[in-house]
Amino acid sequence: MRMRRDDGTLEDIVQRAIDVVENGKVRFVPDRWAKVYLDWMENIRDWCISRQLWWGHRIPVWYCQDCSHVNVNKTAPETCESCNSRSLQQEEDILDT
């Protein structure tokens, strides 16, 4: 389930993440981990995973400027995985490590 920063509130995103487990689209192996996951998701709080700083570990995400595809890779891709465009822009935020 890919999500973007503008996909809604934390509550919207959490509910979508819970729904895919409850309706069977996502399964845990072994099954007992579903209870742990659901407990965590039902009690989740906002937590910033990135910051707008000039130093740190860059998030390995590149946005295609032509088709809006989100490219995730360990190294900088030369072209978009979806449309082969060379017009890619790396995520500017860094991981909050």
The domains located in the chain, with CATH, are 10-42 (no CATH), 50-97 (2.20.28)
Q: Confidence band (pLDDT; 50, 70, 90) for 55?
A: confident
Q: Output the pTM of the full model.
A: 0.50
Q: What is the largest CA-CA distance in the chain?
A: 44
pLDDT value for 76: 94
How confident is the model at residue 58, as a pLDDT? 85
With beta carbons less than 8 A apart as the criterion, state whether 13 and 7 touch.
yes
Q: Which helix (H) or strand (E) holds 16?
A: helix 10-22
Please check the confidence at residue 57 and state whether its pLDDT lies above 80: yes
